[in-house]
Copies of this chain bind each other. A is one copy, B any other.
């Protein structure tokens, strides 16, 4: 059974994960690590972790499961650092928003009988602002947690067990597990996650130019405008690595939306507008 978990990165996701594991009755130890002076102190105060480590690699070596809750390029860095020092009796998993490069690195550096196991994961949960203070035990409840596992990987018996146990913990905190291959993952999230984000960023940025000098007019839009621009508050720091590691799929999705908007613009007074509304209605019908 998993007894010692290390969460590397105690921001919004790492802190929420610690709280969720405790809320689901996980009895083992949870160690946290965060970069920077005083890193992780907030997660500790909130009860998301039992202890704060000062050395990420050392705490990883002392754990059954290491959860990387850091940006994508940092995840790739830690994978390089951890692969040579971990054993086949350990599992590393992550929460990165793109899975192509991470899954490729997992196949190259982990998942042999002689290496630790690595299970690439992506919980579809988050907020438009990060930080431990916004963490909550219920963040993953009802959310989809995607895994881009590769059935060809030959893990140690203990590694395979840990993967199975970790999947059980993810289900225990209320997430719905879906398996998908890494390429399909990155294409899918380009449509259902990255496109909505970049659309909200574009709309918010455009409206800042148009009505930003008249703050009272922002309120005119009401709830509809608030919802359509909420993701405009997302920090660049969270999205830079995503834009860099899923560029082609995001380009394709953005280009398709540009074309769809142009089609609507050209058909504001033709019956084609009705068809667009009806297709949109269908998407929203459960």
* Selected contact of A208 from candidates B222, B255, B282, CB within 8 Å: B282
28 A/B residue pairs, CB under 8 Å, sorted by A: A124-B222, A143-B222, A144-B219, A144-B220, A188-B217, A192-B207, A192-B211, A192-B217, A192-B218, A196-B228, A196-B229, A198-B261, A199-B228, A199-B261, A201-B264, A202-B280, A204-B284, A207-B283, A208-B283, A227-B231, A232-B280, A233-B284, A234-B281, A235-B277, A235-B281, A244-B268, A247-B268, A254-B261
A281 and B220 in contact, given A258-B262, A269-B243, A274-B240 (Cβ under 8 angstroms): no
- Contact residue among B221, B251, B281 (Cβ-Cβ distance under 8 Å from A192): B221
Contact B257 A261, beta carbon cutoff 8 Å: yes
Instruction: Name the residue of chain B whose CB is nearest to the CB of A242.
Output: B268
A245-261 interface code vs B (CB 8 A; 1 in, 0 out): 00100110011111011
Which residues of B lie under 8 Å from residue A255 when comparing CB positions?
262, 265
In the assembled complex, A195 has its CB within 8 A of some CB on chain B:
yes
Q: A126: which B residues are within 8 A, CB to CB?
A: 222, 224
Cα distance A235–B277 in the bound complex, in angstroms: 7
A27 within 8 A of B: no
* Residue pair A276, B201 in contact (C-beta under 8 Å): yes
